Amino acid sequence: MLFYPGDETPICTRQMCSVRDRWTDYLATGAEVVGISTDTVESHQKFSEHHLLPLRLLADADGKVTSLYGVRSWLPGRSARAVIVVDAHGIVRHRQVQPLSLFRPKDNVVLEAIRTAQSDRAAHVSSAVL
């Protein structure tokens, strides 16, 4: 999950467009990658269409998911910029929160976090089978 403060803001737009530009790499992980902000469904639709974003954008207009994952921004009613990687069993394997939201996460870091979560899960399953 890629939490971000808002649609059509400079850093958030660069972040989501970077994910778009690296979409083949994200798809290669087999993970479902979603963007989440407290903007509305309508705002997400316009943002996605304007920038041809391939990932699903989830509207957390009431902030419940943002609160659940502890990624509230210092900006009222907004999510912080955060990367949360959850495995197939619902276990959070990676959590990186940037409360000031001034810098976007690097795609290589996000992709590595996904791969690490997958390999950690595979290693756990392999050791449980032995």
Q: Which residues are catalytic?
A: 12
Instruction: For residues 32 and 51, give the distance between their C-alpha atoms in angstroms, rounded to a whole number.
Output: 19
Contact criterion met (CB below 8 Å) for 33 and 11: no
Contact criterion met (CB below 8 Å) for 17 and 45: no
Q: What letter would DSSP give residue 72? A: B
Strand 2-3 to strand 56-59: parallel, antiparallel, or no bridges (unpaired)?
unpaired
